[in-house]
Amino acid sequence: MPDTSPLSFQPAAPIESLLATVALNQTASEGMRAMMDRQSEFPSPLQAQLTGIALDPYGRQVADQALDTYWSDGPRREALLGSSRTDREIVIGSGFHAAVYAATRVLSGYPKPLVLERSDRAGGTFAMTGRPTFNLNSRNRPGSAGLAGDQGASLNYLPGAPIQAANVSMSEFQTNTDMAFVIRLALAQYADVVTSTNVRAVTQDGAGVGIDFEDRDSIGAGRVIDARGLGDPDPQNAANGTTILAFPQFMQRMATLWPLRGVRRAAVVGGGDSAKCAVESFLGVAPQPFMAAAALDTVERIDWYSDQLPTTCDDWQDQIRGRYQAIGRYLRADRFGVRRLNVVTRRARPVALPGMALIDGRTYDLVILCTGNQETDIDGLDLASFDEYSLPDGSVVARQHYNLPAFRVGPHACLPFTPREREDGIADIAANAVSMFRTATKTAALAATLRPVAQD
Ligand SMILES: Cc1cc2nc3c(=O)[nH]c(=O)nc-3n(C[C@H](O)[C@H](O)[C@H](O)COP(=O)(O)OP(=O)(O)OC[C@H]3O[C@@H](n4cnc5c(N)ncnc54)[C@H](O)[C@@H]3O)c2cc1C
């Protein structure tokens, strides 16, 4: 794999547009101007400017808006989707792996891929909210890509990105929007991005593929990189959008005004990382929500339905990874005998009642369902049509379609832990299966080694 860290580069059009928008705004450009005093510490002045923008909340907000405006521009979208080109690569999804693929591909000398995103905001899972609502799992460290346990490596590293997550905050654990900003800058530099474009089907079209949408004509491409991510909440869950929310709906609520107004008793169902992030939001140990204050809105009781979690503070300390230790303190009574958090060791299925939700006879103002995901539907790209894809050295980095020029990357490739990952202890934490540190280098290696599309 080539060294993909850009020492200096010409800003692509969306980055130029972002810089111009910020520079024209005296208040938004304060961080950018201040950071120029330290530009000698950066590989290039551009990276100093982008770091300054990222570190200034208003600068970052203006920059984010500039990117959304650029990517949603109607005529630009039509020009990109209006032509069928069999020599281009299309990436489905605009998350971390789309950005890794695009950055490595371009820095390896290939043309920019076209990235298609169904949502109106590019950036994938970490961009599910515009304001910070949850923290990442791995500590914020400078350094290049590496594996868990490597103190010299950054586990939130995006190969080839104009700036890294370690540039955009010094908190012990970065927020989702810190990582989203890095992903979005990488996409802006190395991809053509079109938002609000939902891919419905992929079919064979000569040596290439036809891509079908629900609301417009098909387009052609030479290769598809399927980076759909972890998918949507399981459709079997009982979320009603008001008193029972799926995890992404809850995060969206946490990014709005007074998100916990009227919530005194809450429940969380599920024991994975999403559930832990939801519990942190209720306890007040997640990123500070916009316009929320303890004097106004405090959740007094949280029941957490899961049969996989420790129920006492001591067991929590022993069994749960460092990132989530703050939750454990709430699993014991305070000195007045009040305990806010209770783990209920059974599975639950809530029922929506008018204005509340019911679980096992208990009523709640709000219930959050964190019970797993199901991949989004695209005809022609079902998992059964893909086999593992290896590099010449035998390392499995993606999945390849059996007859279409299509590859699945990232968690969407569903690659099992390798014997080496088991030996190294990476498989000891189940959530590492989808961690960026595990999957980023695989996607980068694919992007660096695939032949030009016409030769498939
Ligand atoms: C709450 C939570 C916290 C996490 N925290 C961490 C962490 O701290 N560290 C870590 O390493 N990993 C973490 N992960 C895992 C990490 O988010 C994922 O592994 C990573 O985002 C995967 O990136 P991706 O690009 O493959 O997919 P995503 O980021 O999920 O992006 C996929 C994109 O594809 C789009 N899409 C789907 N279907 C279509 C379609 N048909 N047409 C067009 N677009 C489509 C989606 O809208 C989405 O934007 C976390 C996951 C969650 C849910």
Q: What's residue 5's pLDDT?
A: 52
Residues shown for the chain? 456
Q: What's residue 334's pLDDT?
A: 85
Cβ–Cβ < 8 Å for 155, 436: yes
> What's the topology of domain 13-231+376-455?
FAD/NAD(P)-binding domain (3.50.50)
* 379: Cα within 13 Å, side-chain hemisphere: 9
**Pocket lining: 410 vs ligand 1, CB cutoff 6 Å:** yes
**Pocket lining: 380 vs ligand 1, CB cutoff 6 Å:** no
Whole-number Å distance, alpha carbon 140 to ligand 1 midpoint, is 19
Q: What is the DSSP string of 217-267?
A: --EEESEEEE--TT-EE-TTS---SSSEEEHHHHHHHHTSSSTTTT-SEEE
Residues of the chain scoring pLDDT < 70: 1-7, 235-236, 455-456
Domain with CATH 3.50.50.60 in the chain: 13-231+376-455, 234-373
Whole-number Å distance, alpha carbon 393 to ligand 1 midpoint, is 28
Whole-number Å distance, alpha carbon 356 to ligand 1 midpoint, is 30
Q: What's residue 123's pLDDT?
A: 98
Q: What's residue 86's pLDDT?
A: 84
Query: What is the spatial distance between Cα 379 and Cα 201, in angstroms, rounded to a whole number?
Result: 4
Query: Could you report the per-residue pLDDT of 3-27, keeping only the tens digit for each?
Result: 345 667 799 999 999 999 999 999 9
Cβ–Cβ < 8 Å for 67, 180: no
**Pocket lining: 134 vs ligand 1, CB cutoff 6 Å:** yes
Pocket test for ligand 1, best of 230, 249, 252, 323 (most atoms within 8 A of CB): 230
Q: What's residue 215's pLDDT?
A: 85
Whole-number Å distance, alpha carbon 228 to ligand 1 midpoint, is 7
CATH 3.50.50.60 holds for 234-373: yes
Cβ–Cβ < 8 Å for 369, 233: yes
Q: What's residue 456's pLDDT?
A: 52
Q: What's residue 337's pLDDT?
A: 86
